[in-house]
């Protein structure tokens, strides 16, 4: 049996946007044929909002919050009880205040189950706000720099870059690779993600799957790239 694991933002959808209707129809059919999973740094409500409950329910398991919150057909099957300390949260706030990014929109820290998302422009950023932030971040390397500082300051935490504006923070060792505990590692496992580089939130899972006997990893540019691979007649699961 072949299993397919997909990241969400940048892999099945544009960041924080709903899935393309044509691609959604295709994924309905694809997920009906194969064992499909989602592993995302986002929380479950965002998955359902972006894919629709009808498509979300087609996936065997939704590994939300980097696997720290798990759902099957909308029903919770696992929930981490980890939370950041007041000291850690204050450190994030102080570091964000030091950054001179000029277009901050508010709500920079979002606590999720088993994880925290820190956004430099803010979780309230619009699509246009994101378009301003992305080139600024590429120029200043702000997210990678802040994630490295957090990892150095707090050895028990792990900070990785995720999505277009955020940094995902969780208990060290509780990254996306934790989801493989429930998989038969001798079977064929394919993983599609857009943050496969060191420091990206798909990296740990990509490395773990790449080490499997029948693991295959796809470094995705955008959802169109995923669609292109899956619908290619020469793509053999």
CA atoms of 7 and 201, how far apart (whole Å)? 10
* Alpha carbon distances (Å) from 34 to 28, 70, 110, 188: 10, 19, 33, 11
Q: What is the DSSP string of 100-127?
A: --S---S--EEEETTEEEEESS-TT--H
7 tagged catalytic: yes
Residue 82 has what pLDDT? Answer: 96
pLDDT of residue 86: 95
What letter does residue 66 receive in the DSSP assignment? G
Question: What pLDDT score does 236 carry?
Answer: 75
Task: Supply the DSSP symbol for 97.
Answer: H
Structure confidence at residue 81 (pLDDT): 96
**Cβ neighbours of residue 183 closer than 8 Å, sequence gap 6 or more:** 3, 189
188-193/166-171 β-pairing: unpaired
Asked whether 135 and 165 are in contact (CB, 8 A), the reply is no
- Among candidate residues 73, 1, 6, the one with its CA nearest the CA of residue 34: 1
Distance between CA atoms of 84 and 57, rounded to whole angstroms? 31
9 annotated active-site: yes
Helices 223-231 and 21-33: angle between axes, nearest 10 degrees:
50
At residue 201, the pLDDT reads 93
Sequence-separated (6 or more) residues with CB below 8 Å from residue 221: 194
Residue with token string 């959808």: 13
As a whole number of Å, the CA-based R_g of the chain is 17
Return the closest-CA partner of residue 202 out of 151, 162, 155, 150. 162
- Which is nearest to 103 in space by CA: 65, 132, 145? 132
182: DSSP letter = G
What is the structure's pLDDT at 42?
Answer: 93
The pLDDT of residue 20 is 98
* 10-residue averages of pLDDT along the chain (237 residues): 95 95 98 96 96 97 97 95 95 93 91 95 90 94 96 96 92 95 89 94 96 96 97 87
User: Of the residues 7, 43, 137, 175, which is catalytic?
Assistant: 7
């Amino acid at each position: 049996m072949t299993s397919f694991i997909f990241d969400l933002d940048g892999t099945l959808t544009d960041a924080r946007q709903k899935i393309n209707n044509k691609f959604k129809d295709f994924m309905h059919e694809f997920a009906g044929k194969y064992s499909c999973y989602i592993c995302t740094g986002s929380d479950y409500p965002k998955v359902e909002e972006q894919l629709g409950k009808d498509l979300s329910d087609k996936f065997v398991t939704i590994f939300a919050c980097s696997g720290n919150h798990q759902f099957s057909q909308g029903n919770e099957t696992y929930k981490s009880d980890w939370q950041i300390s007041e000291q850690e949260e204050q450190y994030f706030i102080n570091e964000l205040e030091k950054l001179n990014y000029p277009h901050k929109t508010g709500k920079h820290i979002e606590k999720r189950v088993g994880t925290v998302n820190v956004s430099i422009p803010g979780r309230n950023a619009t699509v246009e706000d994101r378009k301003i932030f992305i080139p600024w971040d590429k120029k200043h390397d702000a997210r990678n720099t802040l994630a490295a500082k957090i990892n150095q300051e707090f050895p028990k935490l792990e900070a990785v870059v995720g999505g277009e504006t955020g940094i995902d923070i969780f208990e060290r060792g509780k990254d996306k690779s934790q989801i493989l505990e429930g998989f038969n590692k001798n079977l064929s496992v394919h993983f599609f993600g857009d943050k496969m580089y060191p420091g990206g939130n798909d990296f740990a899972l990509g490395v773990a799957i790449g080490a499997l006997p029948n693991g295959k990893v796809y470094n995705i540019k955008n959802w169109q790239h995923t669609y292109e691979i899956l619908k290619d007649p020469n793509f053999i699961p």
